[in-house]
Amino acid sequence: MIGSSMLIAFREIRRHVMRSVLTTLGIVIGVFSVITMVTLGNGATQAIRTSISALGSDVLQVRPGQNAGPGGSGGSEVPPPFKPADVEAIREQVGGVTSVTGLAQTAGTAIRNAQSWTTTISGVTNDYFIAQKWGVSDGRIFTAEELQAGRSVCVVGATLVANLFQDVTPVGANLRVRGIACTVVGVLDARGQGGFGNDQDDTVLMPIKAVQRRMTGSKDILAIMIGTDPRFDGEVVRKAVIALLRERRGLRPDEADNFSVLDAKQISDTVSGTVATLTGLIGAVAGVSLLVGGIGIMNIMLVSVTERTREIGIRLAIGALGREVQRQFLVEAVVLSCLGGIAGILLAFLACVVAAPLMGLPFLFNPWINAASFLFSAVIGVVFGYFPARRAAALNPIEALRYD
């Protein structure tokens, strides 16, 4: 019985192709919107986690400046930078710290022969490689003597190598960075693009004393990067760092921190949770299109009942039961909804395959959201097709036969 009902449903769809397409358009748009938003949202969440994880899963970053919290004045004064003594204090006085390095950073042009490349120049110690879990694919990191004396040596990223060293091995070659000659001693392992579109390999690392002395002109430290022992509670280590720095910077109990301590894992969880919430809200708004599509199906099925009143009267007059007529119209409504759901899934898949790379996001196919969207479209057909089907089944055969 269901098979014959489906055959009749497809026959009616072929008889009114344009009307059927317009009827299912709301379902197509609804399913397309929900799947696209959720898929791209999941990709954005994954990209954010990947980008933040590049900081290291057990890493704290300390930077000057923070919005005023409760009890803080929130003045417009520029917060003081960190000093080398702050780095040593953290190393010696905070438990659970495996590595700590100051970071001096600037931007500049790297030149080799007639080629140039604008890049980020960071002054670090060897603890930076430990905290970031970042090794070298060729060469070595800095020696103790190079760090102590602030020698003009550097470790370069893969992007710099690709743009300036196409014809020669980088290690041992000379490079000019912001007009300062330095020798390349190592090449970092390639990491690729971060989730925010930043190229992690576009960097030059030098001993921090060399950058401070010859580029920034001061011993100020832009940031402190702290590697923590995973066996310790990260939040306990974070609070210990905050307490130590508040003491060293002379902050009273009623004053807000003039620095921020960022936990990579907390940032990842917070941002990912926010993106997931926004994705859910946008998906819910897009889901309204499904309800609009359901109203369209109910409307066209009512029109179909009116057009086929005489046909319904004949079927009832020759012995068809009311429930059989009801089932026929329900099947037609569900078929329309399911065809719209399938079309929406296919369009969403193609859109995500194209849009995800253009937006720099991974394409994460989620079979559950596709299955749920299809099932929901079928439910829409049942819910909004019931009233027209019930109306068709309730027709009086004699009155229906008189209908012209």
CA distance 126 to 149: 14
Is the residue at 71 inside a domain? no
More confident position, 398 or 336: 336
Amino acid, res. 120: T
Pair (38, 119) in one structural domain: no
Of 219, 248, 277, the last residue of a domain is 248
Pair (89, 186) in one structural domain: yes
Q: Which residues contact 121 (CB under 8 A, 6 or more apart)?
A: 105, 106, 107, 108, 177, 178, 203, 204, 206, 211, 215
More confident position, 375 or 270: 375
Strands 136-139 and 180-188: antiparallel
| Structural domain of 142 | 81-248
Pair (286, 364) in one structural domain: yes
Write down the pLDDT at residue 200.
80
Of 248, 277, 292, the last residue of a domain is 248
pLDDT band at 205 (very low <50, low <70, confident <90, very high): very high
Write down the pLDDT at residue 74.
44
Strands 153-156 and 180-188: parallel
Coil, strand or helix at 290? helix
pLDDT at residue 147 tops 90: yes
Judged by average pLDDT, the poorest of 118-132, 221-235, 291-305, 337-351 is 291-305
Write down the pLDDT at residue 316.
67
Is the residue at 258 inside a domain? no
Pair (9, 86) in one structural domain: no
Coil, strand or helix at 157? coil
CB 369 within 8 A of CB 52: no
Among 10-14, 209-213, 287-291, 295-299, the range of highest mean pLDDT: 209-213
Average model confidence (pLDDT) across the chain: 80
Write down the pLDDT at residue 13.
67
CA distance 96 to 37: 41
Is the residue at 363 inside a domain? yes
- Give pTM, 2 decimals: 0.60
Q: Give the chain's domain count.
A: 2
Pair (169, 87) in one structural domain: yes
pLDDT band at 193 (very low <50, low <70, confident <90, very high): low
How many percent of the chain have pLDDT more than 70?
79
pLDDT at residue 216 tops 80: yes
Is the residue at 337 inside a domain? yes
Of 193, 218, 248, the last residue of a domain is 248
pLDDT tens for each residue of 103-138: 998 888 999 888 889 999 999 999 999 888 888 999
pLDDT at residue 402 tops 70: no
pLDDT tens for each residue of 30-80: 888 888 888 888 887 777 776 666 655 678 889 888 643 333 344 456 788
Averaged pLDDT, 386-395 = 71
Q: Which residues contact 29 (CB under 8 A, 6 or more apart)?
A: 289, 293, 344
Judged by average pLDDT, the poorest of 63-77, 170-184, 243-257, 266-280 is 63-77
pLDDT band at 350 (very low <50, low <70, confident <90, very high): very high
